[in-house]
A and B are shown apart, each in its own frame.
Chain A
Amino acid sequence: MANTRRKNRIVAALLFTVAGGMVGMAFAAVPLYQWFCQITGFAGTTNVARAPAAAVRPSTKTITVRFDANVDRDLPWRFQPEQSEITVHASEPTLAFYKAANGSDRAITGTATFNVSPHKAGVYFSKIDCFCFTEQRLAAGEEAEMTVQFFVDPGIFEDPNTKELTAITLSYTFFRVPGSDGKNAVQSAAPRPRRPIKG
């Protein structure tokens, strides 16, 4: 009897651990999905890299990189790329420029997310330096120029899935950081009048 009770407690403790482990797995999903996308380039996730080894000469094959910019509806900024496209050689580190302007009357902090299209090109697009996920604070009326340094991996021309591509689009979306401008909560869903941005 006591033996059964002891065995019961051991199995129960084991099962509680399993249940707890599964809760852990749910929270681990956040970095795990991130890691998985990073490794495989799934859904247009780009790579982060230092500059390619100096011995690799830029190849002769080229591909066009297009630049796209968006703002979330909560962010009264003007945000656009300074060049609509650049034709680059593979492995060639390239600099591109975006400009953001705070057209409102108060200082706001924003952060940007980014993606690459088509998704299958993501794993070959390596960003050396960019302004994504760093908070950018712009005072009322202030403008800022932001840079992206990247290169396209030559593997994109060998991979049968991607070799037919002639263009990749890099897209950034700027969001307001809640709390940064004195408005703590995320805006409610009620429709608001649109205001034109000056300048």
Chain B
Amino acid sequence: MADHAAADGDHGHDHHPTGWRRWVYSTNHKDIGTMYMVLSMFAALVGGSMSMLIRLELMNPGIQYFADFQFYNVLVTGHGFIMVFFVVMPALIGGFGNWFVPLMIGAPDMAFPRMNNVSFWLVAAAFVMLMVSAFTQGGPGTGWTVYPPLSNATYHPGAAVDIGILSLHLAGVSSILGAINFIVTIFNMRAPGLTVHRMPLFCWSILVTSFLLLLAIPVLAGGLTMLLTDRNFGTTFFEASGGGDPVLWQHLFWFFGHPEVYIIIIPAFGIISQVVSTFARKPIFGYLGMAYAMVFIGFVGFVVWAHHMYTAGLDADTRAYFVAATLVIAVPTGIKIFSWLATMWGGSIDFHAPMMFACGFIFLFVVGGVTGVALANSGLDLAWHDTYFVVAHFHYVMAIAAVFGMFAGFYYWIGKMSGRMYPSVLAKIHFWAFFVGVNLVFFPQHFLGIAGMPRRIPDYPDAYAGWNYVSSVGTFITSASALLFFFIVWRTLTAGSKAEDNPWGEGAKTLEWSVPSPAPFHTHEDLPDLTGKQPAE
């Protein structure tokens, strides 16, 4: 290995594995990143179809399609798990993280390339297991939060929840291994001269996310194991009859669950920073503030979990603490929003598709974020808990904002990944169609929630019919835009114009733009020397 590398620079080995072995046995961060993105797109079709079915049923009052309410609940559960664990996380962390963290820090690959592969195939297996559980003995109709007693053996006899627990354990191990891989890579394998305080903000975002994964997922694993033994081995962690408490599950789940939502959004923050600075042709305003805002959000995100439990019977003083702590998170988040705006201020902006999605992200994340601030107040939450107001809130920040981040990343980086550029007119149409579609789906849900419509129901009183109809129409537009996106992907890969090494001009300063497009199988085999250079950001 050491013999060839020195002479050939960035286009070192021409030989690399081919055929199915190249993928199944991959130890290449780019190939693994690609596999994650393919998985994410496939899972998006499955999870998106589930949401279509849900909204089809909710379009009109009365039951039209899903008289089997257990199956309806399974759709709700599957939709949630798939979108969180098999669409957003694989795309942002497994996909863009694997592709671009080594490229941006000047590393030839991840610290543990084979473990990287294990992480990917674990997620693939977990996805299969989740689908199996949906068709096993009634399926898990618990919601993604899997609360006992509904999820215990009394109310979900059969193996569906157990297989679902297995799926989550696999996905969890995958994430923990991936997190360790990213942390070690970022700490130990930066090119000479690249201090942590000069690395791109996307790398910071993956670093913070990895620490959140490392600390949060094991707690989910513990809780899941307790649920498994309660269901099958006679323990009573969550059963009052044995001295346990169902609220313990809620504490354990949300101790994981709240950091999980930051795990979902923080990589998107990183992508937005890269895109905004590129297209405003200015370095990000307040780099240190941006980096440490993410650290702070991650940190405080660990001590606010019970704002998901305001109606579980907590003490008033307990609730007061969680209200205050939750409101605190709005501060570093606001710093980030203002910093992105300050970056654009005085910049020379090109509204290419990535920038359109980035601007959309900033606006729509604020919309979703402010409803989160409202929900942080336990008094208001007593009225809004488990209503469509909550559904609207989290879909704005996850289904809209995080997905806008994914699309921004796709359009920004597809030239580097595939060597071909996307069709720009179609991309803009995709942006507008998706923007209109998702806002039409989720904005009216705020009204439904405030008016008292509960979540996770297949039918509702006639009074809620109007906005439900509007919301469902929005899903047709969103689906059409999703089909357009898949067409754009196909068109890009088959007939896209050749991408230059740097299609974005002077604003694109990070290291990935200094390697050819498409990026060769091996890059940075000779470590670049970044001592004394400007911060890459």
Contact = CB atoms under 8 A, between A and B. Distances in A.
Contact of A186 (B153, B237, B252, B313): B153
Interface string A82-126: 000000000000000000000000000001010000010000000
Interface in B162-216: 176, 179-180, 183-184, 187-189, 214-216
A53 interface: no
Contacts of A29: 222, 248, 251-252
B315 A26 contact: no
| Most chain A CB neighbours (cut-off 10 Å) among B153, B184, B215, B220 | B184
Contacts, number: 100
Interface stretch (A16-24, A58-66, A152-160): A16-24
Given A29-B248, A189-B155, A11 B188 contact: yes
B183 A11 contact: yes
A12 B218 contact: no
B355 to A, nearest CB: 36
B221 interface: yes
B215 A22 contact: yes
Nearest to B256: A26
* Range class of the A interface residue count: 35 or more
Contacts of B243: 111, 113, 133
Contact of B180 (A16, A111, A173): A16
Contacts of A25: 218-219, 222
Interface of B is mostly: helix
Interface string A1-37: 1001001100110011011111111110110010000
A11 to B, nearest CB: 5
A62 B284 CA distance: 68
Contact of B154 (A8, A30, A175, A186): A186
A23 B2 contact: no
A19 B218 contact: yes
Interface in B84-115: 111-112
B191 to A, nearest CB: 12
Contacts of B157: 188
B68 to A, nearest CB: 17
* Range class of the B interface residue count: 35 or more
Nearest to A179: B234
A4 B527 CA distance: 13
A141 interface: no
A119 B318 CA distance: 13
Contact of B184 (A1, A15, A173): A15
Given A4-B189, A26-B252, A187-B154, A12 B219 contact: no
Interface string B211-248: 00011111111110010000000100101111100001
A54 to B, nearest CB: 33
A22 B251 contact: no
A185 B221 CA distance: 25
Given A16-B180, A29-B251, A186-B152, 14 more contacts: A1-B2, A15-B179, A15-B214, A19-B218, A22-B217, A25-B219, A26-B222, A26-B252, A27-B222, A29-B222, A113-B241, A178-B234, A185-B153, A186-B154
25 contacts: A4-B188, A4-B189, A11-B187, A11-B188, A12-B180, A15-B180, A18-B215, A19-B215, A22-B218, A22-B219, A22-B222, A23-B222, A25-B222, A26-B221, A29-B222, A29-B252, A33-B248, A42-B315, A111-B243, A119-B315, A176-B241, A178-B234, A178-B241, A186-B153, A186-B154
Interface of A: 1, 4, 7-8, 11-12, 15-16, 18-27, 29-30, 33, 42-43, 72, 74, 111, 113, 119, 133, 173, 175-179, 185-189
